[in-house]
Amino acid sequence: MKITTMTSRDFDSDIGGAKKATAEGPVFITDRGKPAHVLLSIEEYRKLRGTKKMSLLESLVPSNTTEPLADDFEFPKLGSITKPTNF
């Protein structure tokens, strides 16, 4: 795997080159000499993220929480939050 490093200025002037470089490995983008961002191909991102699909409820809970997810969550009935309109 080849790692490419680009300055922010180089990235701005050659976005296409940066995208092509992701075929060989990650592209580190630096700001003032320090790594600030990483550009990955979608395939590499998916490998890092894993294939586990999460529910909507799981995606709304911060990953650093230790609280268990509430499996018995129910959305309120629409009638309890709206009022009938008289025409």
Q: Any idea where the domains of the chain sit in the sequence?
A: 4-52
pTM of this structure: 0.56
**pLDDT tens-place string over residues 10-55:** 999 999 999 999 999 999 999 999 999 999 999 888 888 876 676 7
* Helix, coil or strand: residue 6: strand
Strands of 4-7's sheet in order across: 4-7, 27-31, 34-39
Q: d(Cα 3, Cα 39) in Å, to the nearest integer?
A: 10
pLDDT beyond 60 at 69 = no
CATH code at 4-52: 3.40.1620.10
